[in-house]
C-alpha cells in the first residue's frame, strides 16, 4: 500500500481538562475524497483544528506525506499546502472577492494569480459576477464558495472542508458539492470533508468515518456506510435531501 | 390622518409642533440637570466663609441654548438627514457616481496648496505675522497628520487598538533631544535613528501583546505609554525629569545653512536677509510636509504589498490568516514597528521644532487625540484622517482666536479651556452623522482587469 497523504494516529485533543478527541485514527490517500460525519459536538471541528495545528493533539501523531506535523504552528502547516475552508467560512468581510482570492494566493507569490482566479471563476461563476463586491455583502452560499476558492488559490495538496453545507439551501449545497466532485475528478485533488449532512457527504466521498463523542466508531467505503442500517437510522432517516 | 400627513404644509406644521414639544422637554431636562451645577456655585467671601452664588442668567442662557438646539435638531437636521439617506438608498442602485474634478485631483491640489502655503501667508501677513499661521496651524496640524497616519498603520490597517502611541512619539523626541545634547549629532543623522529606536520599542511592546486583542490589547498599550512617561519623569540623571531637556539643537538645511543666530553659516546672513525666526519655521514647515509625504507614500505602497495586505487581513480575521500561511506574529510586529517608526520621526521633528521636550508633552491625552483623529477620519483612509486632523487640531487652535466670545461669556472666559469639550462634541457629532468617519469606504487594492469605479456597495453593511 502507498503511503497515505494524511495520517492521524491515535490523536487525543483536550480543551483544558476536557477531552474532545480520544484515540482518533484516520487516513487519507492521495486523490481521495474522505468524509467524516457526526452529530453536532462530536468533535469534527476539533479534529480539523488538530490537523492544522490550531488546537494541537496532546498525544498521538499527525503525519503529512510521512512527516510529523503534530506540533507545527498553523501557518507553517498551511505552507505545506494544506488549505482549509474553516468552520464559519472566515472570509475577509471588508475586502472584495478578488482581494480575498489574492490573500489565498499569498503562498504562491502571486505567480499564477490571474490564471488561478480564472479557474475559480469557471468553477464558481457567481464569484466572477461579484469580483468587485465586498465579501461581507455576499450571500451565505457565495461566501462558502469564496471560502473554498480562497483555499484553492494556494494550490493545495490537501483541502480540508469544515461543514461547507452549513446553513445553505439544498440547491446551493448541490452546486458546491458538484464543484468539489469536479475538482477531485479533473485535478485529483485530495479532500477531507467534515459534515453533519451525512447523506450529501457520503454521496460525494469515496470513504467515510463516523465520529461519536470524540471517537471514530465506524469507517468504510461511503457506499457501504450509506447502506448500513445503523447509520441510516442515526443520520439519514428523516433527514433526506 | 394619513391623508393630511401627505400634505407638505400640514407635515411642516406637525414637525414644528413636535419640535416645540421636544424643545420644551429638553428645556425641562437641562433645567433639572443644570440648576445645581450651573445655577448655584459655592465661593469664598472676604472672611473666608463659604457662600452660595447664584447664576440664574447663565443658567437661563444654557437652557435656552439647549431648547433651540433640540428644536433645530427636530425641525431641520433630522428631516434633512432622512432625506439624504433615502436619496442615497435610491442612488445606490443606480450606477456609481463619477467623482468631480476636485475629488479626482485631490492629492495634487492639496500638495500644491501646501507648497504655496508659506509664501502666501508671508505675503499676506508679513514675516513676523506669518509665524502664527505657519507654526501654530501649519506645522502643528501636519505633526498630527503624520502621527495619525503612523497610528493608522497599527489601528486602521492592522486593527490593533493602540492607546499608547504617544510613547513612540516620546521615544523619538527624547532620542533626538538626548543624543544631540550629549553627543552633538545633527538632526539629519538623528532623524532616522529616532525612527529606528522607536521601531525597536514598537517591537518590544509588540512581543508581550502578541496574544492580546481588542480591549485587552488597548489596556496593555495604555500602560506601556504611561510606563515610558514615568521612566522619562523618574530617570532624572539622563532625562532631567519633569524639568525636561532644553536648548536642543535646531535642524539645519542639511548642514549647509544653520538657523543658529551665532553660526557663521546662518541662513539669513548667507542671503543678506534681515534676521527673523520665521525662516526656521518656514523651513520646518517644509520638513514636516516632506515627512508627511513620506508617511503617505509608504502607507499607500505598503497597502498594496503582501505585508500591507496581510495587515488588513489580520484586522479582519486572525485565524483565517494563519490558515492561509501568514505568520501573524511577524505581521503584528511589523505593524507595530512601522507605526512606531513614524511616531519616532514625528517625535524627533517635534524636538527640533520646540527646542525643548518634557514628559508633559507625552501624556495619555495626546494618544487619545491621535486615536480620535484616526477614528474620525475613518480608519484606514489617509484623506479622511488628514481632514480630521485639520478639523480637530486646526479647530481647537482657532479657539484661541475667538476673542469675541469674551464679549458674550465675560472677560475671564478662556475658550482654550473648552478645547476638550468642543473636541468631544465634534467627535460625537461626526460619529452620529458619519459612523464610519469622514471617509468610511475602503479602496480595494486588487484588480484583475480594469480599475472599476468603487460603488456604494463597498461601504454598506452586508445582508448575509
Ligand atoms: N474552545 C473550546 N473550549 C472548550 N470546549 C470546546 C471548545 N471547542 C469545542 N469544545 C467542545 O468540544 C466538543 C467538540 O466540539 P466540536 O469539535 O466543535 O464539534 P463539532 O464540530 O463536531 O460540532 C464539544 O463538546 C464542544 O463543546
Ligand atoms: Mg463543527
Cβ B325–A102 below 8 Å, yes or no? no
Question: Does position B415 have pLDDT exceeding 90, yes or no?
Answer: no
Q: How far is the CA of A45 from the centre of ligand 1 (A)?
A: 7
Q: What is the residue with the minimal CA distance to atom 20 of ligand 1?
A: A41
Q: Which of A28, A95, A92 is nearest to A62 (CA)?
A: A28
A194 pairs with which residues across the strands?
A36, A162
**The last residue of a domain, from among A156, A185, A208:** A156
User: Measured between alpha carbons, how far is A149 from A99 in angstroms, rounded to an integer?
Assistant: 12
Is residue B418 in a domain? no
Task: Give domain status of residue A85, yes or no.
Answer: no
DSSP string, B415-444: GGGGHHHHHHHHHHHHHHH-TT-SS-----
The number of domains in chain B is 2
Grid coordinates representing B17 are: 409642533
Residues around ligand 2, an ion, CB closer than 5 A? A 45, 87
Assess contact for B15 and B75: CB atoms under 8 A. yes
| Averaged pLDDT, B191-219 | 86
CB-CB contact of A147 with A89 (8 Å): yes
* Residue B422, in any domain of the structure: no
pLDDT tens per residue across span B313-369: 998 899 999 999 999 999 999 999 999 999 999 999 999 998 889 998 898 988 988
* Highest mean pLDDT (candidates A142-146, B126-130, B279-283, B456-460): A142-146
A148 and A54 in a common domain: no
The candidate with the shortest Cα–Cα distance to A52, out of B312, B212, B325, B210, is: B325
Rounded CA separation B346/B194 (Å): 9
**Do residues A75 and A106 share a domain?**
no
State the distance from the centre of ligand 2 to the C-alpha of A45, rounded, in angstroms. 4
Which ligand has the shortest distance to the CA of A211?
1
A44 ligand 1 Cβ < 6 A: yes
Residue A38 CA, closest ligand 1 atom number: 22
Among A11, A46, A47, the mutation site with the greatest number of ligand 1 atoms within 8 A of its Cβ is A46
Substitution target in A109, A120, A134, A148 with the highest count of B β-carbons within 10 Å is A134
- Structural domain including B330 reads 106-401+434-458
Of residues B12 and B338, more confidently modeled:
B338
Under a CB-based contact definition with an 8 Å cutoff, are residues A5 and A157 in contact? yes
Pair (A97, A139) in one structural domain? yes
Q: What is the mean pLDDT of chain B?
A: 81
**Residue A9, in any domain of the structure:** yes
Residue B271 located in a structural domain: yes
A contacts of B443 (beta carbons < 8 Å): none
Taking each helix axis from N to C terminus, what angle separates B328-354 and B306-316, rounded to the nearest 10 degrees? 110
> Pick the residue with more confidence: B447 or B70?
B70
Q: Which residue has the cell 520638513?
A: B287
Question: Is residue A64 assigned to a domain?
Answer: yes
| Confidence category of residue B459, pLDDT binned at 50, 70, 90 | very low
Angle of helix B278-303 versus helix B382-389 axis, rounded to 10: 150
Angle CA A103–A104–A108, to nearest 5: 100
pTM comes to 0.79
DSSP state of A108: G
Domain membership of residue A106 as a residue range: 90-156
CA distance B392 to B452: 33
Quote the pLDDT of residue A34.
Answer: 96
Residue B455: the pLDDT is: 37
Q: Which residue in B386, B389, B388, B419 sits closest to B402, CA to CA?
A: B419
Number of CB atoms found within 10 A of residue B424's CB:
11
In this structure, is the dihedral angle defined by the CA atoms of residues B217, B222, B223 and B228, taken in order, positive or negative? positive
Instruction: Mark whether B151 and B226 lie in a shared domain.
Output: yes
3-state secondary structure of B410: coil
Answer whether residue A12 shows pLDDT above 90.
yes
Which position has the grid cell 494618544?
B367
The vertex-B379 CA angle with B332 and B205, nearest 5°, equals 30
Instruction: Decide if pLDDT at B97 tops 60.
Output: no
Residue B69 sits in the same domain as residue B172: no
Q: What is the average pLDDT across A155-177?
A: 92
DSSP class per residue in A188-214? --EEEEEES-HHHHHHH-SEEEEEETT
Residues A72 and A162 placed together within one structural domain of the fold = yes
State the best of A74, A108, A114, A140 to mutate against chain B, taking most chain B CBs within 10 Å.
A74
Per-residue model confidence as pLDDT tens digits over A132-156: 899 999 999 999 999 999 999 989 9
Cα–Cα distance measured from residue B418 to residue B275, given in angstroms and rounded to the nearest whole number: 37
Q: Which residues of B touch A127 (CB under 8 A)?
A: none
Type and span of the H or E element at A163: none
Mean pLDDT of the region B214-223: 84
The answer to whether residues A58 and A171 belong to one domain is: yes
pLDDT greater than 90 at residue B81:
no
- Read off the CATH number of the domain in which A172 is found: 3.40.50.300
User: Quick one: pLDDT at residue A179?
Assistant: 93
A38 CB less than 6 Å from ligand 1?
yes
**Pick the residue with more confidence: B104 or A14?**
A14
Please tell me whether residues A228 and A143 are part of one structural domain.
Answer: no
Please say if the pLDDT value at position B462 is more than 70: no
Q: Is the pLDDT of residue B4 over 60?
A: no
Amino acid at each position: 500500500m502507498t503511503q497515505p497523504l494524511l495520517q492521524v494516529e491515535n490523536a487525543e485533543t483536550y480543551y483544558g481538562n476536557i477531552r474532545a478527541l480520544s484515540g482518533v485514527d484516520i487516513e487519507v490517500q492521495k486523490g481521495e475524497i474522505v468524509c467524516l460525519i457526526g452529530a453536532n459536538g462530536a468533535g469534527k471541528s476539533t479534529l480539523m483544528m488538530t490537523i492544522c495545528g490550531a488546537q494541537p493533539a496532546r498525544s498521538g501523531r499527525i503525519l503529512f506525506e510521512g512527516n510529523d506535523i503534530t506540533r507545527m504552528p498553523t501557518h507553517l502547516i498551511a505552507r505545506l499546502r494544506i488549505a482549509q475552508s474553516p468552520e464559519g467560512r472566515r472570509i475577509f468581510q471588508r475586502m472584495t472577492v478578488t482581494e480575498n482570492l489574492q490573500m489565498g494566493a499569498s503562498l504562491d507569490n502571486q505567480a499564477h494569480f490571474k490564471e488561478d482566479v480564472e479557474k475559480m471563476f469557471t468553477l464558481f461563476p457567481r464569484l466572477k459576477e461579484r469580483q468587485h463586491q465586498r465579501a461581507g455583502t455576499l450571500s451565505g452560499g457565495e461566501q462558502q464558495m469564496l471560502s473554498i476558492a480562497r483555499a484553492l488559490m494556494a494550490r493545495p495538496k490537501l483541502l480540508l472542508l469544515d461543514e461547507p453545507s452549513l446553513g445553505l439551501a439544498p440547491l446551493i449545497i448541490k452546486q458546491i458539492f458538484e464543484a468539489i466532485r469536479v475538482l477531485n475528478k479533473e485535478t485529483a485533488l485530495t479532500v477531507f470533508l467534515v459534515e453533519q449532512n451525512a447523506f450529501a457527504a457520503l454521496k460525494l466521498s469515496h470513504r467515510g468515518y463516523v465520529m461519536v463523542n470524540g471517537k471514530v466508531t465506524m469507517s468504510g467505503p461511503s457506499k457501504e456506510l450509506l447502506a448500513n442500517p445503523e447509520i441510516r437510522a442515526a443520520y439519514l432517516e428523516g433527514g433526506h435531501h | 390622518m394619513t391623508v393630511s400627513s401627505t400634505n407638505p404644509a400640514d407635515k411642516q406644521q406637525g414637525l414644528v409642533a413636535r419640535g416645540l414639544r421636544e424643545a420644551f422637554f429638553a428645556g425641562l431636562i437641562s433645567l433639572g440637570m443644570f440648576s445645581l451645577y450651573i445655577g448655584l456655585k459655592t465661593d469664598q467671601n472676604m472672611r473666608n466663609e463659604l457662600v452660595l452664588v447664584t447664576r440664574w442668567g447663565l443658567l437661563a442662557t444654557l437652557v435656552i441654548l439647549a431648547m433651540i438646539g433640540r428644536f433645530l435638531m427636530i425641525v431641520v437636521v433630522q428631516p434633512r438627514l432622512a432625506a439624504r439617506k433615502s436619496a442615497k438608498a435610491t442612488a445606490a442602485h443606480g450606477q456609481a457616481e463619477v467623482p468631480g474634478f476636485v475629488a479626482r485631483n485631490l492629492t495634487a491640489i492639496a500638495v500644491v496648496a501646501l507648497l504655496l502655503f508659506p509664501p502666501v501667508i508671508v505675503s499676506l501677513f508679513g514675516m513676523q505675522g506669518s509665524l502664527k499661521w505657519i507654526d501654530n496651524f501649519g506645522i502643528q496640524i501636519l505633526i498630527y497628520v503624520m502621527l495619525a497616519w503612523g497610528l493608522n498603520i497599527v489601528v486602521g490597517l492592522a486593527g490593533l487598538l493602540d492607546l499608547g502611541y504617544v510613547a513612540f512619539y516620546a521615544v523619538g523626541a527624547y532620542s533626538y533631544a538626548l543624543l544631540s545634547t550629549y553627543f552633538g549629532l545633527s538632526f539629519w543623522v538623528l532623524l532616522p535613528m529616532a525612527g529606528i529606536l522607536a521601531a525597536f520599542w514598537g517591537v518590544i511592546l509588540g512581543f508581550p501583546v502578541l496574544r492580546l486583542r481588542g480591549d485587552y490589547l488597548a489596556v496593555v498599550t495604555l500602560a506601556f505609554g504611561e510606563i515610558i512617561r514615568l521612566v522619562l519623569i523618574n530617570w532624572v540623571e539622563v532625562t532631567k525629569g519633569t524639568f525636561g531637556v532644553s536648548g536642543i539643537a535646531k535642524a539645519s538645511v542639511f548642514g549647509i545653512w544653520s538657523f543658529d543666530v551665532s553660526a557663521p553659516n546662518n541662513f539669513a546672513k548667507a542671503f543678506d536677509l534681515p534676521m527673523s525666526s520665521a525662516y526656521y519655521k518656514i523651513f520646518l514647515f517644509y520638513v514636516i510636509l516632506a515627512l508627511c509625504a513620506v508617511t503617505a507614500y509608504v502607507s499607500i505602497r505598503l497597502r498594496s504589498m503582501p505585508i500591507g495586505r496581510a495587515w488588513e487581513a489580520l484586522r479582519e480575521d486572525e485565524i483565517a490568516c494563519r490558515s492561509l500561511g501568514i505568520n501573524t506574529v511577524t505581521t503584528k510586529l511589523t505593524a507595530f514597528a512601522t507605526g512606531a517608526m513614524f511616531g519616532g520621526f514625528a517625535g524627533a521633528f517635534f524636538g527640533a521644532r520646540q527646542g525643548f521636550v518634557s514628559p508633559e508633552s507625552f501624556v495619555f491625552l495626546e494618544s487619545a487625540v491621535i486615536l480620535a483623529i484616526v477614528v474620525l477620519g475613518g480608519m484606514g483612509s489617509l484623506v479622511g484622517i488628514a481632514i480630521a486632523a485639520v478639523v480637530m487640531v486646526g479647530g481647537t487652535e482657532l479657539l484661541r482666536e475667538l476673542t469675541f466670545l469674551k464679549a458674550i461669556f465675560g472677560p475671564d472666559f478662556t475658550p482654550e479651556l473648552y478645547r476638550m469639550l468642543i473636541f468631544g462634541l465634534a467627535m460625537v457629532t461626526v460619529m452620529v452623522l458619519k459612523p464610519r468617519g469622514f471617509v468610511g469606504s475602503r479602496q480595494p487594492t486588487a484588480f484583475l482587469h480594469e480599475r472599476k469605479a468603487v460603488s456604494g456597495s463597498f461601504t454598506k453593511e452586508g445582508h448575509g
